[in-house]
Amino acid sequence: MIDLLPDREGSTLEGWLKSHPEVELITRDRALAYADGANRGVTQAVQVADRFHLLKNLVEALIQIELGLRAELDS
């Protein structure tokens, strides 16, 4: 961990990033406020999802596929 921000506001992240322009990579969750703050804070940084959220996305997609298949089988 590099730092712990006091809240989850995009403007807080933006300010922190502007004071750390050397940041090249941001690992973040899916919060739109963080995406916006990162985009405004350090435009050159690459943003990636962390492992937890990649797996969460996969699980949610699989659930949606399962629900779709169940609906087809029930009809």
| Per-residue pLDDT tens over the stretch 52-70 | 989 999 999 999 999 999 9
Domain limits at 64?
10-74
pLDDT digits (tens, 9 = 90+) for 3-50: 899 999 999 999 999 999 999 999 988 889 999 999 999 999 999 988
Domain assignment present for residue 59? The answer is: yes
Confirm if 41 and 11 have CB atoms less than 8 A apart: no
Judge whether 14 and 34 are in contact, CB under 8 Å. no
Residue 1 lies in a domain: no
Q: What is the pTM of this model?
A: 0.71
Does a structural domain hold residue 3?
A: no
In-domain check, residue 27: yes
Number of domains in the chain: 1
Query: Does residue 36 form part of some domain?
Result: yes
The C-alpha R_g of the chain, in whole angstroms, comes to 17
Please check whether residue 29 lies inside any domain of the structure. Answer: yes
